[in-house]
């Protein structure tokens, strides 16, 4: 990124990348090439370190050797001091990529007796530059000359000449200066070095120190104008150009599981959006960390890396506690999918926290980030500052499509929703965990206050912590209100009792009817039998009658034949 920008600006102003994390971004490519840059700040603000890192990075990453002219520390002291930041000055010096020249002036040894100039310094510097073919020069802190040498007017003229000379030699120089009372530097160096001025600040607020960097001016170039927090740690200096991201991130429709099946179904059946920010708020002991742990567990199961920033508990404590609800986070730590980053919020300032988180995220490249809880950060800064920090952090995460879950602790008193207006507007989804106190017991309830861009349940769920993890169950909503816990259970039992009585009643009635039906059927059967008997009787009688009539006709025939009535009988037969 830095390279592209350098190229774009080639026709304009050439820049030299510093290699310092973040600084090249806010300067759009680095420091002005072949020109001096003034770095000013109070004692202990990191000026020397910025200078040294500029040279070390130049020597190791950009193949530009550098000369460090120190007016304050000897080469040995300097080497020792920066060794803790991972810079091996001895190795660089041995390979002729770095030269440290310690210029020492003792005021008491010096007597001024007339006109002089600083040609000695020029010669020394020129000799140093030529001996290693340096492209970069750091003068730290040249203002010491004002203390060591008399006659400031000569010094001023000579410094002006020095900067011009450095420019002519094409040196990209960093000149450090002590912050003055009303000016950027104590001796007004900013008058001479006007191409680029960087101000470092080290502020202590509420006993917490915060480092900030600001580009005061950068002639011929655009640059970030804000104060950017920076951090000095074992890898050197890191500036956070976070506010420059803005609201330009793209979003995805991809959904990821919350790790709690029932919660997924509350969130339209699929869980959170990837890259969204989720706020889990609740009073103490409502299970915020458990919700977070579920989410982390689910992410690791998908093979995604996660970072857990813990501001309240140590990693082993979290792992132990989560094991009690059946979540084994240890396995993910061992597999390298999960990293814990636990610090007390008061360890350093808010900006430093932000910076370290930023750096951690940059380094580990997680897909899921947990901050538990963000509210603890307000111990080191005001609410507005915490909000500003969160905006930056969220910007960064959204930009990288990292799903972030923040937990916040809300005070037990007052409205849960009101206290967090500041943070809640930043969250895409907001889960509220709360205690529901009925009948002398506390139970946990969960509902979704908002979830941008998806249909979600408006129902409150009872939130149970079991040894198999979090379980969400429907609460009892009846005429007597919302019931949870044993009240819910007793209500349900009561309902079940009523139900079973009713069922028994019905069963009894059913049996009754059955009996009746059977009796009726028996009656029908007997009637039918009676009827059949009568029918049988009738049939018998009919047959008897037939037989009788048959008998009569036969008798008649017999009598007729006896009376020779043959014709008659013939006729009758036809």
Q: Are 406 and 280 in contact (CB under 8 A)?
A: yes
In 302-428, which residue ranges form alpha helices assigned H by DSSP? 315-323, 330-335, 350-364, 383-399, 421-424
- List the interface residues with other proteins, window 121-150 (CB under 8 A): 121, 123-124, 126-127, 145, 149
Give the nearer residue to other proteins in terms of CB position, either 114 or 246.
114
| Closer of 127 and 317 to other proteins (Cβ) | 127
Q: Is 141 helix (H, G, I), strand (E, B) or coil?
A: coil
**Rounded to the nearest whole angstrom, what is the least distance from the CB of residue 89 to other proteins in the complex?**
17
Strand partners, 230: 239
Q: Using the CB atoms, write b or e for 467-492: b if 16+ within 10 Å.
A: eebbebeebbeeeeeebbbebbeeee
Q: How far apart are CA 178 and CA 457, in angstroms?
A: 59
Is 197 near other proteins (CB under 8 A)?
Answer: no
Which one of the spans 109-117, 236-244, 446-454, 499-507 is the region binding other proteins (CB under 8 A)?
109-117
Contact between residue 196 and residue 18 where contact means Cβ atoms under 8 Å apart: no
* Cβ–Cβ < 8 Å for 427, 406: yes
CB 199, min distance to other proteins, A? 27
Q: Which is nearer to other proteins, 142 or 300 (CB)?
A: 142
114 binds other proteins (CB under 8 A): yes
Query: Please, what is the minimum distance in Å from the beta carbon of residue 133 to other proteins?
Result: 15
**CB-nearer residue toward other proteins: 101 or 227:** 101
How far is CA 512 from each of CA 322, 519, 520, rounded to the nearest angstrom?
A: 58, 11, 12
Q: How far apart are alpha carbons 323 and 297 in whole angstroms?
A: 11
Taking a C-beta distance cutoff of 8 angstroms, is the pair 31, 59 a contact? no
Note whether 63 binds other proteins by CB under 8 A.
no
What does the angle CA 333 – CA 336 – CA 339 come to, to the nearest 5 degrees? 60
User: Which span (44-52, 101-109, 175-183, 380-388) binds other proteins, by CB under 8 A?
Assistant: 101-109
Q: Does 449 bind other proteins (CB under 8 A)?
A: no
In the complex with other proteins, the residue whose CB is nearer, 126 or 268, is 126
Choice from 4, 63, 111, 303 touching other proteins (CB under 8 A): 111
- Asked if 116 touches other proteins (CB under 8 A), the answer is yes
- Strand-by-strand arrangement of the 227-233 sheet: 98-102, 66-70, 136-140, 172-178, 36-41, 196-205, 208-218, 227-233, 236-239
Contact pick of 3, 104, 160, 516 for other proteins (by CB under 8 A): 104
The residue among 65, 70, 60, 62 whose CA lies nearest residue 129 is 65
Give yes or no for a contact between 453 and 462, defined as CB atoms under 8 angstroms apart: no
Query: Is there binding between residue 534 and other proteins (CB under 8 A)?
Result: no
Selected from 1, 11, 115, 573, the binder of other proteins by CB under 8 A is 115
110 near other proteins (CB under 8 A): yes
Rounded to the nearest angstrom, the gap between the alpha carbon of residue 470 and the centroid of all alpha carbons in its chain is: 20
Segment interacting with other proteins, rule: CB under 8 A, options 44-52, 113-121, 262-270, 493-501: 113-121
CB nearer to other proteins: pick between 107 and 573? 107
Among 33-41, 114-122, 412-420, 430-438, which window interacts with other proteins (CB under 8 A)?
114-122
Single out the residue of 76, 77, 117, 474 in contact with other proteins (rule: CB under 8 A): 117
Choosing from 105, 412, 533, 559, the residue that interacts with other proteins (CB under 8 A) is 105
165 binds other proteins, rule: CB under 8 A: no
Out of 101, 227, 343, 435, the residue judged to bind other proteins by CB under 8 A = 101
Integer-rounded Cα Rg, in Å, for the chain is 47
Considering only residues 458 to 477 of the shown chain, the ones binding other proteins according to CB under 8 A are none
From CA 412, how far away is CA 375, in angstroms rounded?
Answer: 14
CB of 67 to other proteins, least distance (A): 12
Query: Maximum CA pair distance of the chain?
Result: 199
Determine if 118 is a binding residue for other proteins (CB under 8 A): yes
3-state SS, one letter per residue, for 491-535? HHHHHHHHHHHHHHHHHHHHHHHHHHHHHHHHHHHHHHHHHHHHH
268 lies in the site for other proteins, by CB under 8 A: no
> Any alpha helices (H) in 137-189, and if so which ranges?
144-148, 152-168
CA of residue 411 relative to chain centroid, distance: 22
Question: Are the CB atoms for 364 and 299 separated by under 8 Å?
Answer: no
Question: How far apart are alpha carbons 28 and 504 in whole angstroms?
Answer: 82
CA–centroid distance for 75 within its chain: 44
Report the residue number, 117 or 503, with the smaller CB distance to other proteins: 117
Write out the binding residues for other proteins, residues 200-229 only, by CB under 8 A: none
Nearest-approach distance from CB 123 to other proteins, in angstroms? 5
Residue among 131 and 568 whose Cβ is closer to other proteins: 131
DSSP letter string, 191-253: GT--SEEEEEEEEEETTEEEEEEEEEEETTS----SEEEEEEETTEEEE--GGGS-S------
Shortest distance, CB of residue 129 to other proteins, whole angstroms? Answer: 11
Using rule CB under 8 A, residue 113 touches other proteins: yes
Size of the site for other proteins (CB under 8 A): 24
- Please tell me whether residue 109 binds other proteins under the rule CB under 8 A: yes
Piece of the chain touching other proteins by CB under 8 A; list 97-105, 184-192, 281-289, 519-527: 97-105
Residue from 44, 95, 96, 120 touching other proteins (CB under 8 A): that is 120
- Closest approach, Cβ 152 to other proteins, in A, equals 13
Nearer to other proteins, 124 or 223 (CB): 124
Decide: is 254 part of the binding site for other proteins (CB under 8 A).
no
- CB of 213 vs other proteins, minimal distance in Å: 30
Binding stretches for other proteins (CB under 8 A): 101, 103-106, 109-121, 123-124, 126-127, 145, 149
């Amino acid at each position: 990124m830095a390279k592209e920008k350098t190229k774009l600006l080639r026709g304009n102003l050439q820049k030299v990348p510093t290699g310092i994390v973040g600084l090249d971004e806010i300067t759009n490519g680095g420091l002005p090439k072949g020109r001096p840059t003034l770095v000013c700040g109070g004692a202990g603000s990191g000026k020397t370190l910025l200078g040294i890192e500029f040279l070390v990075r130049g020597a190791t990453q950009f193949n530009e050797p550098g000369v460090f002219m120190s007016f304050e520390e000897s080469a040995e002291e300097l080497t020792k001091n920066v060794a803790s930041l991972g810079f091996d000055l001895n190795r660089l010096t041995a390979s002729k990529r770095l030269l440290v020249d310690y210029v020492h002036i003792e005021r008491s040894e010096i007597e001024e007796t007339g006109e002089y100039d600083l040609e000695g310094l020029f010669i020394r510097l020129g000799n140093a530059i030529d001996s290693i073919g340096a492209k970069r020069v750091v003068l730290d802190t040249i203002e010491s000359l004002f203390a060591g040498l008399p006659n400031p007017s000569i010094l001023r003229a000579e410094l002006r000449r020095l900067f011009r000379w450095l420019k002519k030699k094409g040196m990209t120089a960093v000149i450090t200066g002590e912050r003055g009372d009303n000016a950027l530097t104590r001796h007004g160096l900013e008058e001479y070095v006007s191409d680029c001025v960087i101000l470092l600040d080290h502020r202590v607020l509420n006993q917490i120190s915060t480092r900030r960097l600001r580009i005061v001016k950068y002639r011929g170039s655009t640059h970030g104008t804000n104060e950017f927090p920076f951090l000095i740690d074992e890898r050197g200096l890191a500036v956070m150009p976070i506010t420059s991201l803005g609201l330009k991130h793209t979003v995805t429709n991809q959904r990821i599981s919350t790790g709690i099946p029932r919660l997924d179904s509350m969130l339209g059946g699929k869980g959170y959006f990837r890259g969204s920010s989720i706020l889990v708020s609740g009073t103490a002991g409502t299970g915020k960390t458990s919700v977070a742990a579920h989410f982390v567990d689910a992410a690791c199961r998908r093979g995604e890396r996660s970072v857990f920033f813990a501001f309240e508990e140590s990693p082993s404590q979290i792992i132990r506690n989560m094991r009690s609800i059946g979540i084994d986070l240890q396995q993910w730590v061992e597999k390298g999918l999960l990293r814990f980053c636990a610090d007390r919020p008061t360890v350093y300032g808010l900006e430093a926290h932000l910076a370290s988180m930023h750096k951690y995220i940059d380094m580990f490249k997680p897909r899921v980030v947990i901050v538990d809880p963000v509210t603890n950060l307000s111990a080191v800064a005001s609410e507005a500052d915490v909000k500003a920090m969160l905006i930056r952090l969220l910007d960064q995460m959204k930009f990288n499509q990292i799903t972030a879950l923040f937990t916040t602790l809300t005070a037990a008193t007052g409205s849960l929703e009101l206290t967090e207006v500041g943070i809640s507007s930043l969250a895409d989804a907001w889960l509220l965990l709360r205690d529901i106190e009925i009948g002398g017991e506390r139970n946990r309830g969960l509902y979704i206050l908002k979830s941008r861009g998806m249909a979600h349940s408006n129902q409150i769920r009872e939130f149970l912590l079991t040894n198999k993890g979090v379980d969400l169950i429907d609460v009892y909503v009846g005429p007597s209100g919302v019931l949870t816990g044993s009240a819910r259970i007793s209500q349900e039992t009561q309902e079940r009792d009523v139900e079973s009585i009713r069922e028994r009643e019905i069963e009894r009635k059913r049996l009754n009817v059955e009996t009746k039906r059977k009796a009726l059927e028996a009656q029908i059967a007997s009637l039918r039998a009676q009827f059949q008997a009568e029918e049988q009787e009738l049939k018998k009688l009919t047959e008897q009658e037939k037989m009788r009539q048959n008998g009569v006709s036969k008798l008649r025939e017999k009598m007729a034949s006896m009376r020779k009535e043959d014709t008659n009988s013939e006729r009758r037969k036809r």
